[in-house]
Amino acid sequence: MKSFVHFIFLLMILICQSEAKYPNKYFDLIADSLAHFDQTNYSAMRTQFASSKEYKPYIHMNSEYRKFRNNMLNAWKSQNYLNAITMGDSVLTLNFFDIVAQKVVGLSYYALGDSTLGKFYNGIGELLVSSIMNEKDGKSFESAYVVINLLEEYAVLERLRLTVVKQALLLSNGRHYDKFITKDPNGTKTTLYFDVEYMFRD
């Protein structure tokens, strides 16, 4: 419970400090997600965030972020669930939209017998993935999955149980796309497109 309270406290500070600077509704949506995580419009939250000055499309390359994330994953793999939660909360303080971190923290709480916090964190992780996949199918440029960072691409691939065979960055009608050739567990190949334009905006 202590790490959860710490996470909420940090997010509330972020909201209070930033809502006057950014007129869009991103911070209102974060506050709403904490109170009603299963009713929040995560697609709107993600795109509002990508339009704010807080947006860092390449946060996954930050050394501190990578350290926390690697420590979180190692703790999870070694079944050190308390440490996985601590490291996961550090990741989420830097990037609320890290889907894997949301799910690892949630599953760690489940493993420790706390179904309430398990449902909260894991639920946010699942809903973030669904917010990417619900409106598009990724089968063409026109129906490409819209993502705001590279980690979201791999969260979608994991949901679909696909592994990457080949990847290419393409430009079509002035927009940037990642094209993935993938295969499923049976070896069937599939091509998916991700709209990565947010990551190329000034």
193 and 93 in a single domain? The answer is no
127 and 27 in a single domain? The answer is yes
Give the start-end residues of each E strand in 58-162.
145-146
User: Does residue 19 register a pLDDT over 90?
Assistant: no
Predicted confidence at residue 54, as pLDDT, reads 85
9 and 99 in a single domain? The answer is yes
Residue 42 inside a domain? The answer is yes
Residue 140 inside a domain? The answer is no
64 and 158 in a single domain? The answer is no
Q: Report the range of poorest mean pLDDT among 48-52, 100-104, 175-179.
A: 48-52
**111, 133, 155 — which closes off a domain?**
133
| CA 81 from centre of chain | 20
Residue 19 inside a domain? The answer is yes
| Mean pLDDT of the 156-161 span | 96
Could you tell me the residue range of the domain that residue 52 belongs to? 2-133
87 and 29 in a single domain? The answer is yes
pTM value surpassing 0.95: no
Predicted confidence at residue 37, as pLDDT, reads 60
Q: Which has the closest alpha carbon to 97: 68, 62, 124, 70?
A: 124
Residue 138 inside a domain? The answer is no
11 and 45 in a single domain? The answer is yes
Q: Which residue has the higher pLDDT, 166 or 202?
A: 166
151 and 127 in a single domain? The answer is no
Q: Which has the closest alpha carbon to 31: 20, 7, 15?
A: 15
Q: How far apart are CA 6 and CA 2, in angstroms?
A: 6
91 and 32 in a single domain? The answer is yes
24 and 121 in a single domain? The answer is yes
Residue 80 inside a domain? The answer is yes
Angle at 144 between CA 139 and CA 146, to 5 degrees: 150
**104, 133, 162 — which closes off a domain?**
133
Predicted confidence at residue 1, as pLDDT, reads 45
**95, 113, 133 — which closes off a domain?**
133
120 and 164 in a single domain? The answer is no
Task: Write the CB contacts of 26 (distance below 8 Å, at least 6 apart in sequence).
Answer: 45, 48, 49, 51, 52, 54
Q: How many domains does the chain have?
A: 2
184 and 125 in a single domain? The answer is no
Question: For all residues of the chain together, what is the average pLDDT?
Answer: 84
79 and 113 in a single domain? The answer is yes
